[in-house]
């Protein structure tokens, strides 16, 4: 089946997935685009994933506030208007600053499925770092829990 044009207005956003405090809204799934995925990500100051890697490339465009990013031993703080690209299999992390918000885009179709599993299986109320790592591994991600 060929991908079809679509429009996603704010009133039609899917409910945000809660990943240990971070809110991830799937704007374009791999099923819809048949190739890449786009997400709106926001969270309270200091929230963000532990160091992790996955086989797909990922790019982040900071739309509001600041977001700190780390890759190996390097880190940088990105303000609104900044693009950050992370090649596949690169260990990375990020932390939202005050009012931080960003769009992210992946080169693959697995992230939205992984995010849904992570939100379901590693919910903040019963957070278990082992479950986070197990759910990520099913999608090719390595999460340092």
Comparing 25-29, 98-102, 123-127, the range with the smallest average pLDDT is 123-127
Query: CA 119, 123, 128: angle at the middle one, nearest 5?
Result: 120
Q: How far apart are CA 40 and CA 7, in angstroms?
A: 15
Q: How many CA atoms lie within 13 A of 30 on its CB side?
A: 13
Banded model confidence at residue 123, pLDDT cuts 50, 70, 90: low
- Map residue 14 onto helix, strand or coil: coil
The pLDDT mean for the chain works out to: 91
The residues with which 62 forms a beta bridge, in sequence order, are: 102
Residue 8 scores a pLDDT above 80: yes
- Which tokens in the block code for residue 80? 């609104």
Residue 122, pLDDT above cutoff 80: no
pLDDT at 120 over 90: no
pLDDT tens-place string over residues 33-84: 999 999 999 999 999 998 999 999 999 999 999 999 999 889 999 999 999 9
85 CB-near residues (< 8 Å, 6+ apart): 57, 58, 59, 60
Domains of the chain: 14-140 (2.60.120.10)
Categorize the per-residue pLDDT at 11 as very low, low, confident or very high, splitting at 50, 70 and 90. Answer: very high
The pLDDT value given to residue 132: 78
Better pLDDT: 54 or 134: 54
- Cβ distance 101 to 40 under 8 Å? yes
**Residue 144 pLDDT exceeds 70:** yes
Query: d(Cα 95, Cα 111) in Å, to the nearest integer?
Result: 18
What span, in angstroms and rounded, lies between the C-alpha atoms of 118 and 23?
Answer: 12
State pTM to two decimals.
0.91
């Amino acid at each position: 089946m060929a991908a079809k044009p679509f429009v996603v207005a704010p009133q039609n956003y899917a409910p945000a997935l809660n990943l240990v405090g971070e809110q991830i809204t799937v704007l374009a799934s791999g099923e819809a685009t048949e190739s890449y995925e786009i997400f709106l990500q926001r969270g309270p100051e200091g929230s963000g994933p532990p160091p992790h890697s996955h086989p797909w490339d990922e790019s982040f465009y900071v739309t509001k506030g600041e977001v700190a990013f780390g890759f190996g031993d390097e880190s940088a703080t990105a303000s609104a208007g900044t693009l950050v690209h992370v090649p596949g299999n690169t260990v990375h992390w990020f932390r939202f600053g005050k009012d931080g918000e960003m769009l992210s885009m992946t080169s693959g179709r697995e992230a939205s499925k992984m995010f849904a599993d992570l939100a379901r299986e590693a919910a903040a109320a019963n957070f278990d770092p082992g479950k986070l790592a197990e759910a990520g591994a099913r999608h090719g991600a390595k999460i340092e829990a």
